[in-house]
C-alpha cells in the first residue's frame, strides 16, 4: 500500500489504545451479574434458543498466539505448543461478548483463569442472584456457578446421581449444553481470524472483537 511499517504500527497502537479506553470498554462490554434484571434478560435469551434456564453467559478459553516476551522462560508456552495468552471470554445468547479476560499466559489452564477472575469473585461473594450460572465445557468444574456436560460418573456422589437419571436424560442434557457452548467457540475463532462479516458489524460494535481487552471490562457491582 506504500505505507511504511512505523506508520502502520503507530496507527494500530493508537487504535487499540482508543478501544481500550475505560469509557469505551464500559459502554460496549457489559457483564452486570449483580443486577437481577441483567441476569434475567441474559437467561431469557438462552432459554429461547436452547431451552436451558438461568444461563447468563456461555464461557470458553482460547490461545492467542504472541511473540515470546523476553526473560519469560516457559511461562507463555501453551499445550499447542507455542507462546500465547490464554484468553477467557463470555458471550450472550446472540454471540455478543460480555466479558473478556486476557491477563494470563498460555501456561495457565482455563479453570485457573476463571478461578482468579472477577466473574468467580462475584459468585463467591454472593453478588450474583441465586440460581443463575454460566455455561462451560468439561475443562471447568461443575458447580453452582458453572453448568458443564455430565461426564461418566467417577465419585460416589456422581454414581448416586447417575442412578437417578437415565442415559437418555443425560444425553439430552449434554446435547443442549454443547449446542449452546458452540457459540463462544465460534466467536473466539472468528475473533482470532478477523472474520467479521457485514452482518456482525451491523449487530455488534467492533470492540466486541478485540482479543486483548482488560478484565476491567467487567462492571462489578460496588461492595
Phi, psi of 26 (to 5 degrees): -65, -30
Q: Residue 114's pLDDT is what?
A: 94
Determine the Cα–Cα distance for residues 194 and 181; give it in Å rounded to an integer: 20
Q: What is the pLDDT of residue 48?
A: 86
What is this structure's pTM?
0.69
- The answer to whether residues 158 and 69 touch, using CB atoms and an 8 Å cutoff, is no
State how far the Cα of 39 lies from the Cα of 34, in Å rounded to an integer: 8
Residue from 74, 107, 102, 69 nearest 88 by CA: 102
3-state SS assignment for residue 66: coil
152-198 confidence digits (pLDDT tens): 656 666 556 555 555 544 554 555 555 555 555 555 556 555 443 33
- Helix (H), strand (E) at residue 60: strand 55-65
> Which of these, 83, 138, 76, 139, lies nearest to 108 by C-alpha position?
76
- pLDDT tens digits for range 173-186: 555 555 555 555 55
Amino acid at each position: 500500500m506504500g505505507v511504511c511499517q512505523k506508520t502502520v504500527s503507530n496507527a494500530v497502537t493508537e487504535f487499540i489504545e482508543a478501544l481500550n479506553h475505560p469509557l469505551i470498554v464500559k459502554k460496549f462490554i457489559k457483564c452486570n451479574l449483580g443486577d437481577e434484571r441483567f441476569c434475567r434478560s441474559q437467561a431469557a435469551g438462552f432459554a429461547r434458543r436452547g431451552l436451558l434456564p438461568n444461563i447468563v453467559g456461555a464461557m470458553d478459553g482460547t490461545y492467542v498466539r504472541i511473540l515470546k516476551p523476553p526473560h519469560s522462560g516457559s511461562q507463555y508456552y501453551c499445550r499447542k505448543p507455542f507462546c500465547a495468552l490464554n484468553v477467557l471470554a463470555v458471550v450472550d445468547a446472540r454471540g455478543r461478548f460480555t466479558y473478556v479476560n486476557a491477563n494470563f499466559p498460555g501456561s495457565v489452564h482455563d479453570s485457573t483463569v476463571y478461578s482468579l477472575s472477577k466473574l468467580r469473585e462475584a459468585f463467591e461473594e454472593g453478588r450474583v442472584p441465586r440460581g443463575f450460572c454460566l455455561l462451560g465445557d468439561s475443562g471447568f468444574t461443575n458447580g453452582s456457578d458453572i453448568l458443564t456436560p455430565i461426564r461418566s460418573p467417577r465419585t460416589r456422589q456422581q454414581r448416586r446421581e447417575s442412578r437417578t437419571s437415565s442415559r437418555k436424560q443425560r444425553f439430552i442434557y449434554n446435547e443442549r449444553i454443547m449446542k449452546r457452548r458452540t457459540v463462544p467457540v465460534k466467536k473466539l475463532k472468528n475473533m482470532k481470524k478477523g472474520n467479521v462479516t457485514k452482518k456482525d458489524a451491523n449487530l455488534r460494535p467492533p470492540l466486541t472483537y478485540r482479543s486483548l481487552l482488560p478484565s476491567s471490562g467487567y462492571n462489578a457491582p460496588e461492595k
